[in-house]
Amino acid sequence: MLTIYDTTLRDGSQAENFNLSVEDKLRIALKLDELGVDFIEGGWPGSNPKDVEFFQEIRKYELKHARITAFGSTRMFANRTEEDPNLKALVAAGTPGVTIFGKTWDIHVTDALRIGLEDNLTIIVESLAFLRRHVEYLFYDAEHFFDGFKANRDYALATLDRAVAGGAQCLVLCDTNGGTLPTEIVAVMAEVKNHLAVSGKSIDLGIHAHNDSETAVANSLVAVENGAVQIQGTINGFGERCGNANLTSIIPALALKMNRDFAARPNLGRLRDTSRFVTEIANLPHNKYQPYVGQSAFAHKGGIHVSAVQRNPITYEHIEPERVGNVRRILISDLAGKSNVLHKARKFGLDLDSKDPALAAIVKNLKELENQGFQYEGAEASFELLMRKAMGTERKFFDLKSFRILSQKTKSGESPLEEATIRLEVGGEMVHTAALGDGPVNALDKALRKALTRFYPQLGEMELCDYKVRVLASEHGTGARIRVLVESKDADSRWGTVGVSHDILEASWQALVDSITYKLLKDERRRHQEG
């Protein structure tokens, strides 16, 4: 059985413009766990405080399947093993698994580490032996293995021998520079397997490919075909330079093309949602042309293709899009999207079927809103409210009459003073209040809560925990539309909401109102169930 090892939170975060907070990393880790990923590499605890905090925070969550791993390097040659700060940080992370990398390419040993080749072999075996006593899962990343093998075959194989002697449970062969082609993978893995067999060593092999030659996915699949049982990669292929092996392409290929078994296979229907969730959290645009999960992956536009697909989709589709959570899109038709809406309705517990007139209204409204820039992958609470409005089951807890934001700066070098004033009607009663805040959005959020908490005390336990802004169609400059994504939480759950406008305050207001409305609706629904 194969194991899927995700390194989005560590290797993926080395991509340009890919930045995650601790909260972001926690949310993505939980999403990966839902997908059925076997191992989630959370970061390098010896490198920065953010990763240390992530490992502390993730312990508060009970994952359904995935095991968290920490990443680091072999010890520095000048340090005693027990005193090496990197190794101590890996143990302190308290993760079930640890992955360390070591030098395989002799030029890295002599030119980067500036130690002898035998000294490098020593630190490999000693580092792994030390960690073996502290973790349940211990993996060894043979950095630059394919380049190292081509440069000095015997030495590259010797590093694997020492990793096995140190207690590694899986040897992960890394194409760190991303320059290896699939044909080379076949030959090198054959020699590795033969060497281990002759040496009497039985150990799992893995693959960690980078995409600098546009072959990372192909290299990973070829490696599996030739004996690799652990596949490392990132969601959407995020990673340094040209990226890593893309798990959103690898996972469906393994399941649907190669008929391989792994824990995430039954959850393929979550794949597109996971892909878009990660890009939304990272505040990056979605790659609509991405295989399997992209918006255009199963889009058909006019002419012979559309006619053929409507008769038999297999004529122009290599798989059924629903198998990976995607949908077929006939770009000149209003049929696209209904299956997705029905799926969401079931998830939200809404009574909606394919013959309900509200379904067509929801799909039409959804298309119009998406054309304006709304995206709901990271804002399911807003989508549920949209559906309820179309079905006539919307619950209005308050009604805005007006709001005003004042920003005053009196001295250079000091932050502006922001004040929000708001007028609402709640149950026939008018409420007029104001609040100061750290920025206009914070002031608006405080004024809104101040006005409503008297009527809905449970809002006191609600917290806005993330706020993201994306400029849409940036060629319009300061006149561009803005999309605001807000994440909120209370004692037992968290949810996302979205707003879009040319005005950042209006977009923020939409997302804030949806967030509070969803909280009140959720609590009301729970009271009914308990009663």
Where do the H-state alpha helices sit in 283-379? Answer: 303-311, 338-348, 357-372
CA dist list (Å): 265 to 260, 261, 323: 9, 7, 10
What six digits make up the tokens of 133? 């006593």
> Is 464:518 a contact under the CB 8 Å cutoff?
no
> Is 339:325 a contact under the CB 8 Å cutoff?
no
Instruction: Write down which residue in 260, 281, 302 finishes a domain.
Output: 281
**CA distance linking residue 143 with residue 73, whole number of Å:** 10
409 and 269 in a common domain: no
Q: To 10 degrees, the CA torsion angle through 282, 283, 288, 294?
A: 40
Is the alpha carbon torsion for 258, 260, 263, 265 positive or negative?
positive
What six digits make up the tokens of 190? 């054959």
Pairing assessment for the beta strands 137-143 and 170-175 based on DSSP bridges: parallel
**CA distance linking residue 124 with residue 120, whole number of Å:** 6
Up-side HSE of residue 231: CA atoms within 13 Å toward CB? Answer: 36
Rounded (to 5) percent helix, strand, coil in the chain: 45, 20, 35
392 within a domain of the structure (yes/no): no
> Is 496:487 a contact under the CB 8 Å cutoff?
yes
177 and 43 in a common domain: yes
Please tell me the pTM assigned to this model: 0.76
| Single-letter amino acid, residue 283 | N
pLDDT, residue 474, reads 55
Please give the tally of structural domains in the chain.
Answer: 2
For residue 219, give the CATH number of its domain. 3.20.20.70
What six digits make up the tokens of 187? 């030959």
Neighbouring residues of 486: CB distance < 8 A, sequence distance ≥ 6: 379, 464, 466, 467, 468, 496, 497, 498, 499, 508, 511, 512, 514, 515
Helix (H, G, I), strand (E, B) or coil at 231: strand
Closest CA to 329 of 348, 349, 310: 310
Which residue, chain included where needed, has tokens 């949908």?
327
> Is 2:224 a contact under the CB 8 Å cutoff?
yes
> Is 362:341 a contact under the CB 8 Å cutoff?
yes
**For residue 415, what are the domain limits?**
399-530
Instruction: Write down which residue in 232, 256, 281 finishes a domain.
Output: 281
405 and 261 in a common domain: no
349 within a domain of the structure (yes/no): no
Which residue, chain included where needed, has tokens 């996972």?
251
Instruction: Write down which residue in 256, 281, 306 finishes a domain.
Output: 281
pLDDT, residue 325, reads 94
299 within a domain of the structure (yes/no): no
> Is 342:363 a contact under the CB 8 Å cutoff?
no
**CA distance linking residue 155 with residue 396, whole number of Å:** 70
> Is 206:172 a contact under the CB 8 Å cutoff?
yes
For residue 415, give the CATH number of its domain. 3.30.160.270
pLDDT, residue 301, reads 62
372 within a domain of the structure (yes/no): no
106 within a domain of the structure (yes/no): yes
User: Per-residue confidence of the chain (531 residues) as pLDDT tens digits?
Assistant: 999 999 999 999 999 999 999 999 999 999 999 999 999 999 999 888 999 999 999 999 999 999 999 999 999 999 999 999 999 999 999 999 999 999 999 999 999 999 999 999 999 999 999 999 999 999 999 999 999 999 999 999 999 999 999 999 999 999 999 999 999 999 999 999 999 999 888 999 999 999 999 999 999 999 999 999 999 999 999 999 999 999 999 999 999 999 999 999 999 999 999 999 999 999 898 898 999 999 889 887 655 555 666 677 777 789 999 999 998 876 544 444 676 688 778 888 888 888 888 888 888 888 888 888 888 877 889 999 998 998 888 889 999 999 999 998 888 878 888 999 999 999 999 999 999 999 999 999 999 999 999 999 999 999 888 899 988 865 555 557 899 999 998 988 889 999 999 999 999 999 999 999 999 999 998 888 776
**CA distance linking residue 481 with residue 504, whole number of Å:** 8
Dmax over CA atoms of the chain, in Å, equals 84
> Is 494:465 a contact under the CB 8 Å cutoff?
yes
Closest CA to 229 of 254, 200, 247, 249: 254
| Single-letter amino acid, residue 91 | V
Helices (H) and strands (E) in the chain, counts: 17, 16
179 within a domain of the structure (yes/no): yes
251 within a domain of the structure (yes/no): yes
**CA distance linking residue 460 with residue 439, whole number of Å:** 21
296 within a domain of the structure (yes/no): no
- φ, ψ of residue 354 to 5 degrees: the values are -65, -20
Pairing assessment for the beta strands 417-426 and 399-408 based on DSSP bridges: antiparallel
Is the alpha carbon torsion for 321, 325, 328, 329 positive or negative?
negative
**CA distance linking residue 79 with residue 196, whole number of Å:** 30
